[in-house]
């Protein structure tokens, strides 16, 4: 069965850094695009970053230059490295994959940026 297990969230001060991880199983990880999205209270879920099977990436303008998405196909894991964090980055962060006609999401991990 497809599973996405996230970790790495927490409380961090403005300007700090975190690295989120999403461990995937149940599908051929290396052939699929992996994505990160986030959702703040009262707001819609928004796409943050994606990494294609070939390794090329896309980022939302709001995080470009601060966040980096990467993948380790040997570990079936996708990462989101977040630097220069701002209070407006506070949200629940999710990883996502679409395959076999369905969208799969992790459980989400809370990131709180506050002084």
Give residue-wise pLDDT tens across range 19-62: 999 999 999 999 999 999 999 999 999 999 999 999 999 999 99
The rounded distance, in Å, linking the Cα atoms of 53 and 93 is 21
Mean pLDDT, to the nearest integer, of 78-107?
96
User: Is residue 101 scored above 90 in pLDDT?
Assistant: no
> Under the phi-then-psi rule, with left for phi > 0, alpha for psi from -120 to 50, and beta for the rest, what region is 42?
left
> Across the strands, what pairs with 113?
12
The rounded distance, in Å, linking the Cα atoms of 13 and 115 is 5
pLDDT for res 39: 98
Check residue 30 and report its DSSP letter: G
Contact 93, 71 (CB under 8 A): no
Average pLDDT, the chain: 97
* Rounded percentage of the chain residues whose pLDDT exceeds 90: 97
pLDDT for res 2: 95
Strand 10-12 vs strand 3-7: parallel, antiparallel, or unpaired?
Answer: unpaired
């Amino acid at each position: 069965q497809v599973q996405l297990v996230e970790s790495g969230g927490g409380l961090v001060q403005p300007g700090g850094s975190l690295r989120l991880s999403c461990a995937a199983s149940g599908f051929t990880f290396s052939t699929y695009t992996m994505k990160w999205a986030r959702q703040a209270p009262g707001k819609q879920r928004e796409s943050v970053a994606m990494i294609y099977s070939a390794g090329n990436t896309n980022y939302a303008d709001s995080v470009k230059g601060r966040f980096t998405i990467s993948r380790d196909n040997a570990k079936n894991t996708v990462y989101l490295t977040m630097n220069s964090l701002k209070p407006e980055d506070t949200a629940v962060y999710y990883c996502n994959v679409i395959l076999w006609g369905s969208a799969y999401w992790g459980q989400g991990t809370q990131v709180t940026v506050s002084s």
